[in-house]
């Protein structure tokens, strides 16, 4: 046996065993060189090969090419990565159109290599290591001997995170061009074992990431975006669970695609009860020409396994995302409390209208002013000026530096909104370079929000965007950039590509975007970057690699945000989710909620305010000041502690949400509990906490009452809510 710290190869069973203290992932090479999946779950001390490729003669399941063994078929074999045309009739991970027009490939084992650490992915975001001892990477090389294509499956297992990162590279070692029509990042085949379910996160604009839990029946469920982005409509994160899995018990496998474009997750159950999960780039409008000596790298998938429910799964994944996907100096720094002027002024502002808001923000202890849409070109509505990133001088008659100096002289930081991927017809950029826009020749392009999309897959377009933004950022006055994208991709055509390569446009767009983000974030490391696509239209782990936080929804209604933030935490760390207090009645829903509840929900992320501070009453200002001061006291715990979901009405737990934050030592906990609608005769319900130390005594720092950790977790607290709708209880405990 070849033994490494985290990866072993057993020559007798021809099996690879990836393991850390908690998990094992095992696959093996069979007699035909096919790589079969054996096991993924709790740590096994040793594996003796008993799960290798069970065989049986099954009708209408064809046999391996060149053999007469009727008991062996790829049609029911659990594989690590399947291809089209060789007898596997299930959804396959790859479809490659060969030079002769056929769509068959048969990849068999060639050799392997184990390397310390984790290599980066060319042109793509990915999880990383800070030293080589953190992880090991297995590279398994397969070959299709007829076409001379080489497929490399990459597996990285982390030592201290229960995470396995997977990606695939296809190399064309032949003298002929092939076309990739489908190439998933990961295939995971699981044996028939009871009734599995899948959790997905569909939605829409201002209605992101609803929790959908479904049985996996025979056939295929597809969760996808074909919009060029991750999309509001379907996030690229799913969870495979048992029917009995809860927040605190049962098995859960999280599947997170590190990608910001069109994606596709396929979950199927075959005729024999086995499951197959695929995740990767959406094959819709995808056709990649791979010339001789070229290679194609898929995005990465992060797999996480928990034997103890959804909270543990999220904690494993989000720990990695926060510290080994997010990068830069702000990764580990507490984030500032901002005031954004969008819902206060929309486009209707000038310096004289903004300065009173800044003055109020300073008095309330807010730390950053963010200037949103409308500061550039001649932008007074959404139908002009995108692409012209120069100051709208009429709004800043004393000069833009005078305004930014005013903000900084109040002891506050200054941020700005950009929408760099977009262009307006009414813009100097369009008049000079109409060819920069995504547009199909001889067809009218499709507007959305009166705007169109720049083809950032092209170097000259990226250079133009970069140079315009650099002129603003080089002044050294900008501390924060909010990166907007307020429409999806249409009119998929690139003028710099020949007809046979037009199927590459959408992925090239994403690669170009990543190249632009890499250059900007590298050259401006002192800027805090925040993603935004109509709120949650591009919330994914790929964007987290460049921007440590994102505006997770344009919906600022506190009650809707409870659901959005609760469900988002399944896949993303709290430090990545910005959440703002807005006006009541809310501009999206018309709902009226107390300032205390709006603040408690927003404090459960990266806190900000999105309203006209000059219109607050004196009593509301006192509440805001208390919120700001409290958040400064606890924000390190909130942004970097362990987030625990306690109660969710979507899981049949009634009329309430509750969650909590716990530090690494279980010495401090902050609990938020919400009741949505009031009852005339409310129940005496209890709230049970989690993640505390049963041997410690905790004190409620407001009431001074003392409790054992075991009491708080096992017996709980009776909760009394104010007799009103949309009420909140907050508990802050510290160990004595």
The reported pLDDT for the residue numbered 683 is 86
Cβ distance 321 to 367 under 8 Å?
A: no
C-alpha distance across the termini of the chain, in Å: 50
From CA 700, how far away is CA 316, in angstroms rounded?
28
Taking residues 532-546, report their average pLDDT: 97
| 393 part of the active site | no
Within the chain, what is the greatest distance between any pair of CA atoms? 85
Q: Are residues 44 and 38 in contact, defined by beta-carbon separation less than 8 angstroms?
A: no
Contacts of 455 (CB under 8 A, 6+ apart): 436, 437, 438, 461, 494, 495, 505, 509, 512
For 173-299, list the strands marked E by DSSP. Answer: 178-190, 196-200, 212-215, 219-225, 237-242, 252-258, 263-269, 275-281, 288-290, 295-297
Long-range contacts of 551-555 (CB under 8 A, 24+ apart): 551/482, 551/578, 552/208, 552/577, 552/578, 552/579, 552/605, 553/206, 553/208, 554/205, 554/206, 554/588, 555/206, 555/207, 555/208, 555/588, 555/589
Q: Which residues contact 677 (CB under 8 A, 6 or more apart)?
A: 655, 725, 726
**pLDDT digit string (tens) for 468-514?**
999 999 988 999 999 999 999 999 999 999 999 999 999 999 999 99
**Is the confidence at residue 360, as pLDDT, over 70?**
yes
**Rounded mean pLDDT of 295-309?**
98
Average pLDDT over residues 279-308: 98
- According to DSSP, the β-strands at 413-418 and 163-172 are unpaired
- Banded model confidence at residue 651, pLDDT cuts 50, 70, 90: low
The pTM of this model reads 0.97
Give me the pLDDT at residue 476, please.
Answer: 83
Indicate the DSSP class of residue 473.
Answer: H
pLDDT tier at 337, thresholds 50, 70, 90: very high
Average pLDDT over residues 3-19: 92
Position 733 scores a pLDDT of 98
Tokens of 347: 């486009």
- Mean pLDDT, rounded, for 222-249: 97
The pLDDT tens digits for 375-420 are 999 999 999 999 999 999 999 999 999 999 999 999 999 999 999 9
How long a stretch of residues is the chain?
736
Mean pLDDT of 515-534: 98
Question: Which residue, chain included where needed, has tokens 């001892």?
Answer: 133
Residue among 312, 315, 530, 540 flagged as catalytic: 540
Nearest C-alpha neighbor of 366 from the set 43, 609, 114, 91: 609
- Write down the pLDDT at residue 52: 87
Dist. CA 561–CA 374, nearest whole Å = 26
- Give the residue-averaged pLDDT of 74-99: 95
272 pLDDT band, cuts 50/70/90, is: very high
Q: How confident is the model at residue 653 (pLDDT cuts 50, 70, 90)?
A: low
* Coarse DSSP helix, strand, coil percentages of the chain, rounded to the nearest 5 percent: 20, 30, 45
Structure tokens of 10? 């057993």
Mean pLDDT of the chain: 96
Q: What b/e string do you get for 138-175 counting C-beta neighbours within 10 Å, with b at 16 or more? A: bbbbbbbeebebbbbbbbbbbeebbbbbbbbbbbbebe
How many other C-beta atoms can be found within 10 angstroms of the C-beta atom of residue 702? Answer: 10
Of 620, 667, 722, 725, the active-site residue reads 620
Residue 54: band (very low, low, confident or very high) from pLDDT cuts 50, 70, 90: confident
Give residue 2's pLDDT band: very low, low, confident or very high (50, 70, 90). low
Instruction: Read off the pLDDT of each residue in 283-309 and give the average, rounded to a whole number.
Output: 98
How many other C-beta atoms are found inside a 10 Å radius of the C-beta of residue 623?
17
Model confidence at 1: pLDDT above 80: no
pLDDT at 650 over 80: no
Looking at the DSSP assignment, which residues form a beta bridge with residue 329? none
Q: For residue 110, give every residue at least 6 positions away whose Cβ sits within 8 Å of its Cβ, in sequence order, or none.
A: 141, 142, 143, 150
Q: Are 506 and 197 in contact (CB under 8 A)?
A: no
Supply the pLDDT for residue 335: 98
Under DSSP, is residue 321 helix (H, G, I), strand (E, B) or coil? helix
**558 conformational bin, left if phi > 0, alpha if psi -120 to 50, beta if neither:** alpha
**In the chain, pLDDT over 70 holds for what percent of residues?**
99
pLDDT at 426: 98
Cα separations in angstroms, 470 against 33, 466, 477, 517, 530: 53, 6, 12, 12, 17
Task: Tell me the C-alpha distance between 577 and 548, whole Å.
Answer: 9
**Catalytic status, residue 722:** no
SS3 716: coil
Residue with tokens 């506050």: 412
Given a cut of 80, whether residue 538 has pLDDT beyond it is yes
Q: Residue 25: what pLDDT?
A: 98
CA dist., res. 452 & res. 437, Å (int): 7
- Give the pLDDT score at 68: 87
Rounded Cα distance, 614 and 623, in Å: 14
Mean local confidence (pLDDT), 90-106: 97
Contact 612, 344 (CB under 8 A): yes
Give the closest residue to 540 by CA, choosing from 505, 503, 520, 510.
Answer: 510
Mean pLDDT of 74-100: 95
Reported confidence tier of residue 652, pLDDT bands at 50, 70, 90: low
In the predicted model, is pLDDT for residue 3 greater than 70?
no
């Amino acid at each position: 046996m070849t033994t490494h710290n985290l990866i072993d190869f057993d020559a007798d069973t021809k099996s690879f065993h990836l393991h850390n203290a908690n998990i094992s992932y095992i696959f093996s090479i069979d007699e035909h060189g096919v790589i079969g999946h054996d096991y993924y779950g709790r740590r096994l001390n040793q594996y003796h090969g008993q799960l290798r490729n069970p065989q049986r003669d099954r009708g209408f399941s064809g046999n391996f090419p060149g053999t007469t063994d009727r008991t062996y078929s790829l049609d029911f074999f659990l594989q690590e990565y399947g291809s089209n045309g060789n007898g596997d009739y299930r959804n396959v991970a790859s479809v490659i159109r060969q030079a002769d027009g056929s769509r068959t490939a048969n990849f068999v084992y060639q050799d392997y290599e184990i390397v310390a650490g984790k290599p980066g992915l060319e042109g793509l975001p990915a999880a990383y290591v800070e030293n080589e001892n953190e992880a090991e990477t297995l590279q398994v090389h397969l070959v299709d001997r007829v076409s001379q294509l080489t497929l490399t499956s990459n597996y990285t297992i982390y030592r201290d995170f229960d995470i396995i990162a997977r990606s695939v590279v296809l190399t064309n070692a032949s003298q002929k061009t092939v076309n990739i029509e489908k190439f998933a990042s990961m295939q995971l085949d699981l044996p028939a074992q009871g009734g599995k379910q899948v959790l997905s996160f569909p939605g829409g604009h201002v209605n992101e990431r609803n929790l959908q839990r479904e049985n996996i029946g025979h056939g295929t469920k597809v969760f996808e975006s074909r919009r060029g982005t991750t999309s509001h409509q379907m996030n690229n994160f799913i969870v495979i669970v048992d029917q009995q899995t809860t927040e605190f018990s049962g098995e859960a496998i999280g599947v997170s695609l590190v990608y910001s474009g069109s994606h596709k997750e396929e979950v199927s159950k075959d005729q024999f009860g086995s499951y197959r999960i695929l995740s990767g780039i959406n094959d819709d409008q995808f056709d990649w020409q791979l010339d001789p000596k070229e290679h194609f790298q898929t995005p990465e998938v992060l797999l996480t396994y928990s034997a103890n429910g959804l909270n543990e799964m999220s904690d494993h994944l989000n720990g990695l995302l926060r510290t080994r996907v997010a990068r830069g100096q702000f990764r580990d720094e507490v984030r500032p409390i901002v005031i954004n002027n969008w819902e206060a002024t929309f486009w209707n502002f000038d310096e004289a209208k903004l300065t009173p808001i800044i003055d109020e923000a300073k008095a309330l202890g807010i730390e950053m002013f963010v200037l949103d849409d409308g500061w550039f070109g001649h932008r007074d509505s959404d139908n002009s000026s995108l692409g012209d990133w120069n100051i709208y001088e009429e709004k800043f008659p004393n000069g833009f530096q005078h305004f930014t100096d005013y903000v900084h002289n109040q002891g506050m930081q200054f941020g700005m909104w950009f929408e760099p991927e977009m262009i307006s017809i009414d813009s100097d950029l369009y008049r000079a370079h109409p060819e920069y826009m995504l547009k199909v020749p001889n067809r009218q392009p499709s507007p959305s929000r009166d705007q169109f999309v720049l083809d950032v897959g092209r170097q000259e377009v990226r250079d133009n965007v970069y140079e315009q933004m650099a002129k603003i950022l080089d002044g050294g006055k900008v501390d924060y950039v909010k990166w907007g994208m307020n429409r999806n991709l249409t009119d998929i055509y690139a003028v710099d590509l020949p007809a046979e390569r037009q199927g590459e446009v959408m992925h090239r767009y994403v690669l170009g975007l990543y190249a632009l983000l890499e250059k900007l974030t590298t050259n401006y490391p002192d800027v805090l970057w925040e993603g935004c696509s109509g709120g949650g239209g591009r919330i994914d782990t790929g964007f987290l690699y460049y921007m440590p936080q994102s505006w997770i929804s344009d919906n600022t209604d506190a009650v809707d945000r409870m659901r959005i933030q609760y469900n988002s935490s399944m896949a993303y760390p709290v430090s990545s989710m910005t959440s703002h207090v807005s006006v009541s009645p809310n501009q999206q829903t018309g709902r009226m909620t107390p300032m205390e509840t709006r603040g408690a929900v927003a404090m459960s992320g990266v806190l900000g305010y999105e309203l006209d501070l000059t219109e607050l009453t004196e009593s509301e200002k006192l509440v805001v000041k208390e919120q700001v001061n409290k958040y400064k006291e606890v924000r390190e715990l909130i942004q970097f502690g362990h987030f625990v979901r306690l109660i969710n009405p979507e899981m049949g737990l009634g009329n309430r949400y509750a969650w909590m934050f716990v530090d690494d030592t279980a010495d401090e906990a902050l609990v938020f509990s919400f009741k949505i609608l009031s009852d005339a005769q409310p129940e005496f319900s209890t709230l049970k906490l989690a993640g505390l130390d049963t041997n410690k005594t905790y004190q409620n720092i407001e009431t001074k009452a003392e409790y054992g950790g075991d009491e708080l977790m096992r017996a709980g607290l009776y909760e009394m809510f104010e007799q009103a709708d949309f009420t909140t209880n907050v508990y802050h405990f510290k160990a004595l």
